Chains A and B, each alone.
Chain A
Amino acid sequence: MSKNTETPAAGGAVAGDLKLVNVTKRFGDFAAVKDLTLTIPQGSFFALLGASGCGKTTTLRMVSGLEEPTAGRVLLGDHDVTRLRPYKRPVNTVFQNYALFPHLTIAENIAFGLKRRGVKDVKKPVQDMLDLIELSHIGARKPNQLSGGQQQRVALGRALINRPQVLLLDEPLGALDLKLRRQMQIELKRIQTEVGLTFVHVTHDQEEAMTMADTIAVMNLGRIEQLGSPTDLYENPRTTFVANFLGQSNLWPGKASGTVGEHLRVRLEDGTGVLIPSARNNASGDEVIVGVRPEKMSIHASADEVPDGRNMLTGGVVTDTSFVGVSTQYVVKVAVCDELGVFVQNDGARIFRPGSDVVVSWDPSQGFGLDGKQDIDAGAEADLEAGS
Chain B
Amino acid sequence: MSAPALADEAAEALADGTTVAELRADKRVRRRRATLPYVLLAPGIIWLVVFFIVPMWSIVSTSVETGDMDTGFVLSWRWANFGDVWSQWHQQIIRSLEYSLMCTVFCLILALPLAYFIAFKAGRWKNLLMALVVAPFFTSYLIRTLAWKTILADDGWVVHAMNTLHITPLLSGMGWTYSDNSVLQTPFSVVCGMVYNFLPFTVLPIYTAMEKIDPRLHEAGQDLYASAWATFRKVTFPLALPGIVGGTLLTFIPAVGDYTNAVMLGGPKTKVIGTVIEQQMIGTGGNIPYGAALSVLLMVGTLVITLAYIKRAGTEEIV
A contact residues vs B (CB 8 Å cutoff): 10, 64-66, 85-88, 91-93, 95, 97, 99-103, 112-113, 116-117, 158-159, 162
CB distance from B3 to the nearest CB of A (A): 55
Interface of B is mostly: helix
- C-alpha gap A119/B239 in the complex (Å): 24
Query: Can you spell out 14 A-B residue pairs with CB atoms less than 8 angstroms apart?
Result: A65-B222, A66-B223, A86-B223, A87-B221, A87-B226, A93-B219, A93-B223, A95-B223, A99-B214, A99-B219, A101-B221, A102-B217, A112-B224, A162-B224
Closest to B217 in A: A99
CB distance from B194 to the nearest CB of A (A): 32
Q: Could you tell me if A158 and B224 are in contact, using CB atoms closer than 8 angstroms?
A: yes
Closest to A100 in B: B220
Category for how many chain B residues contact A: 10 to 19
Kindly count the residue-residue contacts between A and B in the assembled complex, taking CB atoms under 8 Å apart. Answer: 64
Q: Which residues of chain A have C-beta atoms less than 8 A from B214's C-beta?
A: 99
Partner of A85 from the list B216, B217, B227, B239 (CB cut-off 8 Å) is B227
B contact residues vs A (CB 8 Å cutoff): 214, 216-217, 219-227, 230, 234-235, 238-239
With A102-B239, A103-B238 in contact, is A10–B225 under 8 Å at CB? Answer: yes
- C-alpha gap A100/B219 in the complex (Å): 11
Q: Which residues of chain A have C-beta atoms less than 8 A from B227's C-beta?
A: 85, 87
With A112-B224, A113-B224 in contact, is A95–B219 under 8 Å at CB? Answer: yes
- C-alpha gap A65/B238 in the complex (Å): 25
With A99-B214, A116-B230 in contact, is A162–B225 under 8 Å at CB? Answer: yes
Q: Could you tell me if B226 and A116 are in contact, using CB atoms closer than 8 angstroms?
A: yes
With A99-B214, A102-B239 in contact, is A66–B219 under 8 Å at CB? Answer: yes
Q: Which residues of chain A have C-beta atoms less than 8 A from B220's C-beta?
A: 93, 95, 99-101
- C-alpha gap A296/B283 in the complex (Å): 101
- C-alpha gap A101/B216 in the complex (Å): 10
Partner of B222 from the list A66, A100, A158 (CB cut-off 8 Å) is A66
- C-alpha gap A66/B219 in the complex (Å): 7
Partner of B216 from the list A86, A95, A113, A162 (CB cut-off 8 Å) is A95
The 10 closest A-B pairs by CB, nearest first: A113-B224, A99-B220, A116-B225, A86-B222, A99-B216, A116-B226, A93-B223, A103-B238, A87-B225, A87-B222
